């Protein structure tokens, strides 16, 4: 086999590993990562009721939890959600698979879902804890998404998967408690409950009344 064909074969294998792992992650639940010296975690929870077109922001520590109204006609008038730092970087997306065609952060009818299906989906996701980890992971994520642009395309997916498996993360639950749809299937309003669990080294804002919890309670 020529070196060119061998290189393409390894590249294809790396992409296949990424896709297979994505399917495994979709069928399972994310793990809460905490260091061996940090066996206890903190948890906070809050609810938000939103009418279509309205957005919500809640400071949770060094990050902000955001539910953002869809722009334009917004498909079915839903929202997206994120955990962002002061620069607007989303600390959820880089550590939740799959990286493509994933409706997990979309509270609407994206990717062929109905509005009802999109709102009834239970979200169980990881989130990055520090800016340093975010800045370290994002280049690896981009290489995995576009291995042809990576300096080492044969190992781009492998390096990314190892990095997200090892990085300390928190855990996010988002459930829709109630929603109203129009006769045309458009979203009129929804009430969401959010729970965030993180190692005790992550400091939630005191007004959220953080409570102590075993890290094993996260996933």
Q: What is the pLDDT, as a whole number, of residue 215? A: 84
208 alpha carbon, distance to own chain's centre: 21
Q: How many Å apart are CA 75 and CA 18, to the nearest integer?
A: 30
215's tokens: 């890290």
31, 170 Cβ separation under 8 angstroms: no
> Among candidates 88, 79, 31, which has minimal Cα distance to 217?
31
Q: What is the pLDDT, as a whole number, of residue 14? A: 43
The strand pairing partners of 130, in sequence order, are none
Q: Which helix (H) or strand (E) holds 64?
A: strand 64-69
Q: How many Å apart are CA 152 and CA 39, to the nearest integer?
A: 36
Q: What is the pLDDT, as a whole number, of residue 83? A: 98
Q: What is the pLDDT, as a whole number, of residue 3? A: 40
> Among candidates 155, 170, 162, 105, which has minimal Cα distance to 137?
162
Q: What is the pLDDT, as a whole number, of residue 18? A: 46
Q: What is the pLDDT, as a whole number, of residue 204? A: 97
Q: How many Å apart are CA 89 and CA 44, to the nearest integer?
A: 21
Which residues, given as ranges, of the chain have pLDDT below 70? 1-39, 72-74, 217-219
């Amino acid at each position: 086999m020529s070196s060119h064909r061998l290189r393409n074969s390894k590249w294809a294998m790396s992409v296949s590993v990424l896709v297979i792992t994505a399917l495994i992650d979709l069928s399972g639940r994310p793990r809460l990562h905490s260091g061996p010296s940090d066996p206890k975690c903190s948890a906070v929870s809050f609810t938000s009721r939103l009418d279509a077109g309205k957005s919500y922001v809640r400071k949770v520590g060094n990050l902000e939890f955001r539910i953002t109204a869809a722009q334009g006609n917004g498909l079915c008038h839903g929202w997206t959600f994120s955990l962002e730092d002061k620069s607007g970087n989303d600390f959820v997306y880089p550590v939740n698979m799959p990286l493509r065609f994933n409706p997990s952060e979309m509270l609407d009818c994206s990717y062929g879902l109905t509005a009802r299906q999109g709102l009834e989906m239970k979200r169980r996701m990881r989130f990055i804890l520090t800016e340093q980890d975010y800045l370290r992971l994002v280049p690896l994520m981009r290489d995995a998404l576009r291995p042809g642009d990576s300096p080492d395309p044969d190992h781009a997916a492998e390096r990314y998967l190892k990095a997200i498996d090892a990085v300390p993360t928190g855990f996010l639950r988002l459930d829709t408690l109630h929603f109203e749809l129009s006769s045309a299937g458009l979203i009129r309003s929804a009430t969401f409950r959010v729970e965030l669990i993180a190692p005790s080294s992550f400091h939630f804002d005191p007004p959220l009344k953080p409570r102590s919890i075993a890290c094993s309670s996260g996933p």
